[in-house]
């Protein structure tokens, strides 16, 4: 059985003043029935890890470099994230793929670095509006999964896959539940075909305009094991309501 995961991606939001949201969230969920993760900007990782130390809240990064160290100005390695207190790393978010021209091969190299460090890789995939309109959704998602995941070391403990349709991110537009189920069932089948039984343990998150108001129906959808939440993870009140909806969702 897969333990569900509520993951928050703060993106480029948050300063020291925002740590109170993380502390409020941790205090509101002392004994959660699901895993809870917050991924603040890198500048806040160690402070957030300190602030929620002893709680059930995990802290993660939003990206890393594929190399362990070296001449890469402005970059951060998986080992540095681990040292700062991260246990997960989001990789291949569509904003990274667009803003920084990250390819599947680059995401895969980063994922290998994350797994080598013993951290959990949260690998993001998802089609654009134009790709969906052209009927390419499953082909795009399939190719991203194929290209972005390492061949070795992929298990339910080491990898999470997040389906984030680009057109649903920050837009308030959400796919129909049938559309979400179609992609999530497809992703499960692709993962099982490649990784065998271990793939049944991989958590599949949906991301894109998840709110307290739509969380319950999304969490009742086939092969949805949680969410990767952007805007609604910035405040403890909204993210807490999403976590409560996930705790109340049917078992995977």
Ligand X SMILES: O=C(CO)COP(=O)(O)O
Provide the annotated active-site residues: 93, 164
The one segment of 26-34, 80-88, 146-154, 228-236 that binds ligand X by CB under 6 A = 228-236
Nearer to ligand X, 79 or 149 (CB): 149
Residue 110 φ/ψ, nearest 5 degrees: -65, -40
Contact positions with ligand X (CB under 6 A) in 1-20 = 9
The one segment of 44-52, 141-149, 184-192, 229-237 that binds ligand X by CB under 6 A = 229-237
Smallest separation (angstroms) from ligand X to the CB of 197:
28
The CA distance from 20 to 16, in Å, is: 8
The CA distance from 148 to 142, in Å, is: 10
Residue 43 DSSP class? G
Longest Cα–Cα distance of the chain, Å, equals: 48
CB atoms within 10 A of CB 247: 15
Kindly tell me which residue out of 170, 173, 220, 248 binds ligand X, with binding defined by CB under 6 A: 170
Nearer to ligand X, 156 or 208 (CB): 208
Residues in Cβ contact with 119 at an 8 Å cutoff, skipping those fewer than 6 apart: 60, 78, 81, 82, 86, 87, 88, 89
If phi > 0 it is left, if psi is from -120 to 50 it is alpha, else beta; for residue 149 that is: beta
9 labelled as ligand-binding? yes
Assess 164 for contact with ligand X (CB under 6 A): yes
Smallest separation (angstroms) from ligand X to the CB of 152:
26
Q: Compute the residue count for the chain.
A: 252
16 labelled as ligand-binding? no
Smallest separation (angstroms) from ligand X to the CB of 218:
11
Nearer to ligand X, 201 or 207 (CB): 207
Tell me the residue number closest to ligand X, measured at CB. 230
Task: Give the distance from CA 11 to its chain's centroid.
Answer: 12
214 labelled as ligand-binding? no
The CA distance from 39 to 89, in Å, is: 8
| Binding positions for ligand X, rule: CB under 6 A | 9, 93, 164, 169-170, 207-210, 228-232
Binding site for substrate, residues? 9-11, 170, 209, 230-231
């Amino acid at each position: 059985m897969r333990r569900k995961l509520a993951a928050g991606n703060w993106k480029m939001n948050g300063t020291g003043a925002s740590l109170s949201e993380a502390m409020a969230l941790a205090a509101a969920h002392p004994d959660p029935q699901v895993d809870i993760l917050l991924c603040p900007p890198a500048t806040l990782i160690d402070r957030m890890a300190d602030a929620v130390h002893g709680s059930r809240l995990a802290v993660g990064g939003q990206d890393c470099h594929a190399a362990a160290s070296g001449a890469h100005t402005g970059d951060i390695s998986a080992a540095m994230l681990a040292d700062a207190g991260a246990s997960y790393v989001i990789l291949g978010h569509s904003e990274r793929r667009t803003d920084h021209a990250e390819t599947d091969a680059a995401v895969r190299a980063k994922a290998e670095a994350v797994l080598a460090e013993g951290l959990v890789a949260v690998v993001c995939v998802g089609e654009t509006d134009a790709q969906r309109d052209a009927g390419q959704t499953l082909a795009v998602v399939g190719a991203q999964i194929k290209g972005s995941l390492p061949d070795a070391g992929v298990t339910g403990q080491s990898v999470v896959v997040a389906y984030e349709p680009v057109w649903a991110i920050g837009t308030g537009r959400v796919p129909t539940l049938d559309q979400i189920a179609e992609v999530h069932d497809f992703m499960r089948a692709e993962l099982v075909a490649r990784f065998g039984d271990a793939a049944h343990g991989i958590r599949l998150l949906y991301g894109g305009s998840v709110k307290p108001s739509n969380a319950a129906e999304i969490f009742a959808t086939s092969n949805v094991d949680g969410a990767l939440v952007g805007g609604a993870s910035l405040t403890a009140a909204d993210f807490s309501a999403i976590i409560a909806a996930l705790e109340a969702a049917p078992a995977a």
